[in-house]
Structure 1
Amino acid sequence: MAAAHGDTRHRRRVGNAPVSAPFGILRLPSDVRFGAGTRADVPALVASLGERVFVVTDAFLATTPQFGELLTTITSGCRDIQVYSDIPAELPIDAVHRAADAAANFDPTVVVGYGGGSALDAAKLVALLCARGGVLPDYYGENAVAGPVLPLIAIPTTAGTGSEVTPVAVVSDPDRELKVGISSPYLVPRIAVVDPELTIAAPRGVTTYAGIDALVHAIESLTARPLERTAGVLPVFVGRNVLTDPLALEAVTLIHRALPRVVDDPNDIDGRIDMSRGSLLAGMAFGAAGTHLSHAIQYPIGAITHTPHGMGTGTLLPYVMQACVHAVPDRLASIADAMGIPPSVDIASHAQAAVDEIAALCARVGLPVSLRELGVVEADIGRIVDLTLRVTRLIAIAPIPADRSAIEQIVRAAILGDRGMLRHPRSDKQTVDEATVAL
């Protein structure tokens, strides 16, 4: 079983000849610092990149002692510094343009992002607009950034988004019904500094929703369908591969054991260290592999219900995994192994045990067990499906055919809170045979 779980070979195309060979890709900062107290490295790192520093954070974090201490140490080593803290949640496009205008007037040589996903994404986009000009819609989609952006140091204060190491930033555009992604390898920060001590002050809800979203990143990286590789520019998300798999599996192990601990006890420093490392590794993995259906379906649900992103992806995760059991049982079985679940009688049972354990974990940390608890009703299904189908870069790497029928079944089951609706009728033998053919 272990050999089957770890086999990540898949068919790809080089020129005109399809071959079977392992393929891997990672896109990462040039310098990643992890560990309690690593924020002490920031002043020297900033000084190595420039003397005019534009710091992006949010209004609450700007008032915290930790930020004040960090700002003091940065200021002692640079010629000029400006703090911009008008960064709201969900990151509206106008807020980013205002931040970029302020940065352009300051003319920075380096940008520092400090905070959760919104602050780090805003910092990425400020670095982009300062270097390349234009407005954000010029860069919507994949690979629309023509060259390097300003040097960026990303310092997360939550364990969840992984934005400090990813090539993606997401904004809310009032002209569109969904959040919009800007994806480019040029958006990967130059330096990431991940200090678990900065996450201790996060409220329980932030800890829960960010933490479960990190687990979703890891699991969807492991189960994302590998795209056929062709000559030319690769998409930003290429699906699971031999370099992202080990990172994602370690992230599953860390987050599975640590998330309940930090939800129960915010001051559990060992748990905070595990969560920050798990979130970092999951970000490294999904920055290349990508995420799929939990994220794609959450985008319209978030727009309809105005609920936190992690709440939505975490609520959806057991249902998406259930829908994928028949397609990637080996992948889900490897997740069961990573969580320490004892071996089962066969691979299909082991895969199902992973789904059941994730559902139990989500309930354990207080996530809703159905979309109905988020305010979604069956009358919303058609609109949710229509909007999900527009998130093409994510549904392209779903491990199952993500057509209208499949998405509707997942959403309906999640509204009713019934994973049994998604159990596949085919036999275990057929499931294993098909999984073997797919690899």
Structure 2
Amino acid sequence: MKRFLLLLLCSLMLYAPTTGHTEAKSEYETAYKLYIAAGASAAAYNDRTGALASRYLQQDGWKINHYVQDQGHPGPRFLIANKEGADGKDIYIVAIAGTETTEDIKQNLKVEKVYFAGAAPEEFVANAAKKDVPDTQPKVHRGFNELWQAGPTAKLRKVSDVSLISLPDLLANNKDYTLYLTGHSLGGAAATLAGAGLISMGVNPEQIEVITFGAPAVGNDAFSSQYEPVLNLTRVVIDGDPVTGVLQTISGGYTQFGREIKWTIPPTLDEPHKLVGYVDLAIKNYYDKRQQAINDGVELPTENIKTAGGVYIASLNNNLSSTPEKDFWYMREALWDEYRKKLPEYVIESKDSGGSWREKAIAAGCRWAIVPEVSSMTLKQEKNIYHVNLTQTVYEVASGAVVDVAIYSAATYNLTPLEAFIHSLREMTSEQVIWLKK
């Protein structure tokens, strides 16, 4: 379901929220959190996507530990990531993987409700076993409840001297820490119950935020009424995602709550529940809100522009076909972010004003010039499948000689065009920049 969803993780980390106009700043901060949460949700999986996502998170300074279950043992697989925030306070993310195994499917099918209450883990277990509890009490999906309660049985994926963190103790002993719980689908359901459970066990609600993607409802009206006032829950839903309403339809008695953010499925996808779509839209939402914040005067980190000796970056040449062309603006933003991260000194041609890029590079006092191009090719036998190609040509400005050419391509079998572009971009910039060291 997922390949290379997180290949731009480091790029988007460049613009962590700072200060500015209140509304634009708030929307920007939310978009940033949604992007990070979507990335962490993909990183929670035990596959190549998860490995790549974890690597890029670590490159940006996140410390990550993955936890898994013994073979055949039901329970969540998740990661715990932490990093010091811009304000000096520690941020923790717990991202829970969605449906991956046969055991996960079995948990999904346990749709009967159990009593949800307790001030300690053992109390939750005992209360869930009680019979004939009236529906006026908070009740939740039995399978989802068993999943989050099995969290302490998880073990580190790799042998380490790190032990499983006690989240209630961590937050109780560090009042300025913030915990984000997130996940896609089944993972989002478990994250919601984990957040409610931590609050019941005495954790300050202001230290917890839950962000889910395409998650089903988890409890009845009484559960929603009890936890909606105290649990900071944001539910991201792609319009038409059937999973978000499946329990209300199949078994009844389930209620969604929290803030709902609804997105529209990308035109290149035909299934609104896929994680690939949520990641694509989280990236686009981030860039949209960032641009809006810039337009409204929100202070962002300044670009590292130097008047001489750097790299001149020409405008991105656009040779995309009609459908991928809709993502061009986002591709350009991702490209610029990657160059900002990789190049110590640069000048970006933000608008193609015509004329020779070499003349403009000379005027800017740059030694090198990069001329990038993006193109696409439609595969005739496949619906909505494209090859997205990224070409980077590097010139020595003084002589006009080509010193390096890189061409990368990715298909959209399990990606959107934007994600395919970012995959190629990350692969390209991971190569050693030999010409820059001359």
Greater Rg by CA = 2
TM-score, normalising length: structure 2:
0.23
Instruction: Give the number of the structure whose residues are more often strand, by fraction.
Output: 2
